[in-house]
C-alpha cells in the first residue's frame, strides 16, 4: 500500500517518511490530484483493516478545488472561477482545498483506539489546537460550528476545517489548516455552511510560519493525540 500512495501521481510521491508511535507519516511533494487522493485513501484504509499496512498520517496539498460532504447544499456552491467539485464521501458540507493549505488524511484503526467516533473528532480538534498553539495561534472550538476558530468579534474567523469518515472502524479524510492559501478562493462556497464568519490563515494573521513549521508542530503534538484516544477520556 505504500507503493500505491507513491505511485498515485507526482503529488503523491512521498517527500519524507517517518513513524510515530507505530503510525507511518508521509508528506507528499507538489500538488496531489484529489481523485488520486481518494483512491489512495480507500486502498490504504482497506489494507489497514486487513492488517496488510500500518496506520498512516498523509500530509498533502491540492490544486484549487471544492469538495462536497454528505450534508452539502446546492445553494452553498457559488464557484465563479469554475474550480472542479468532488463528492468527498466524508461528513460535512462544502470545503475548499488549494495550494498553501495543509490537508491531513488520517487512516487510523479505531478498533484498537476505543471505537468512539465522537472522542476521535474531539481529540482531533484538540491535536490541531495544540499544534497551532505551538505556532503562537490561539485556536478554539465553538459550540454548534464545525472547525477551529480564532479571533473575537469582528475579527473572528475559521482557520481549520475537519471532516472525517469511518469505514469498518478505519478513519478516512481528516483536516485542513490554512497556512497561506488564496483566501479569495473561499468566496466560491459558503464554507461548511457558515456564512456569518470569515476564513483566515497563518499568513493573514501575520504568523511567520510555513508548511514545514506546521508539519513539525503537528508531529510534536501527535503522541498526545494518540494517548488521548488510548485512554478514551470522556468527551465533555
**Nearest 10 degrees: Cα torsion 68, 181, 186, 43:** 0
Is 141 part of a structural domain of the chain?
A: yes
Domain of residue 151, CATH code: 3.30.930.10
Is 54 part of a structural domain of the chain?
A: yes
Active site residue 119: no
Mean pLDDT of 181-207: 90
Domain count, the chain: 1
Chain segment 127-172, per-residue pLDDT in tens = 999 999 999 999 999 998 889 999 998 899 999 999 999 999 999 9
Residue 40 corresponds to which cell in the numbers above?
489512495
Is 60 part of a structural domain of the chain?
A: yes
Domain range for 166: 2-231
Phi and psi at residue 217, to the nearest 5°: -65, -40
CA 163, CA 174: separation in Å to the nearest integer? 5
Instruction: Tell whether the model's pLDDT for residue 174 goes beyond 80.
Output: yes
Is 188 part of a structural domain of the chain?
A: yes
Is 236 part of a structural domain of the chain?
A: no
Q: List the beta bridge partners of residue 172.
A: 165
Q: How confident is the model at residue 203 (pLDDT cuts 50, 70, 90)?
A: very high
Buried b (16+ CB within 10 A) or exposed e, 5-42: beebbebbebeeeeeeeebbbbbbeebbbbebbbbbbe
Is 161 part of a structural domain of the chain?
A: yes
Is 49 part of a structural domain of the chain?
A: yes
Chain segment 71-111, per-residue pLDDT in tens = 889 999 999 999 999 999 888 889 999 999 999 999 999 99
Which of 70 and 2 is assigned the larger pLDDT?
Answer: 70
Is 145 part of a structural domain of the chain?
A: yes
Active-site residue identified among 31, 47, 192, 229 = 192
Chain segment 20-39, per-residue pLDDT in tens = 888 999 999 999 999 999 99
What is the full DSSP assignment across the chain? -HHHHHHS-GGGSEEEEEEETTEEEEEE-S---HHHHHHHHHHHHHHHHHTSS--EEEEE---SEEEE-TT--GGGB--TT---EEE--SSSSEEEE-TTEEEEEEE-BGGGTTS-HHHHHHHHHHHHHHHHHTTT---B--TT--SEEE--GGG-EEEEEEEEEEETTEEEEEEEEESS--GGGGGGB-GGG--SSEE--TTTTT----HHHHHHHHHHHHHHHHHHHHHTPPP-
**In the prediction, which pLDDT does 232 show?**
63
Amino acid at each position: 500500500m505504500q507503493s500505491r500512495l507513491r505511485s498515485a501521481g507526482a503529488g503523491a510521491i512521498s517527500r519524507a517518511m517517518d513513524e510515530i508511535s507505530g503510525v507511518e507519516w508521509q508528506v507528499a511533494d507538489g500538488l496531489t490530484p484529489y481523485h488520486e487522493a481518494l483512491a489512495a485513501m480507500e486502498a490504504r484504509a482497506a489494507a489497514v483493516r486487513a492488517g496488510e499496512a500500518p496506520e498512516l498520517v498523509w500530509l498533502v496539498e491540492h490544486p484549487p478545488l471544492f469538495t462536497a460532504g454528505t450534508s452539502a447544499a446546492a445553494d452553498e456552491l457559488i464557484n465563479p472561477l469554475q474550480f472542479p467539485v468532488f463528492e468527498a464521501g466524508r461528513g460535512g458540507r462544502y470545503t475548499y482545498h488549494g495550494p498553501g493549505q495543509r490537508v491531513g488524511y488520517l487512516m487510523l484503526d479505531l478498533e484498537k483506539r476505543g471505537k468512539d467516533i465522537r472522542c476521535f473528532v474531539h481529540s482531533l480538534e484538540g491535536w490541531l489546537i495544540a499544534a497551532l498553539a505551538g505556532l503562537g495561534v490561539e485556536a478554539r472550538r465553538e459550540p454548534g460550528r464545525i472547525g477551529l476558530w480564532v479571533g473575537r468579534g469582528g475579527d473572528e474567523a475559521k482557520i481549520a476545517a475537519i471532516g472525517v469518515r469511518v469505514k469498518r472502524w478505519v478513519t478516512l479524510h481528516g483536516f485542513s489548516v490554512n497556512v497561506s492559501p488564496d483566501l479569495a478562493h473561499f468566496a466560491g462556497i459558503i464554507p461548511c455552511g457558515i456564512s456569518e464568519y470569515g476564513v483566515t490563515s497563518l499568513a493573514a494573521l501575520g504568523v511567520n510560519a510555513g508548511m514545514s513549521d506546521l508539519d513539525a508542530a503537528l508531529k510534536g503534538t501527535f503522541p498526545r493525540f494518540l494517548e488521548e484516544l488510548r485512554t478514551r477520556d470522556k468527551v465533555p
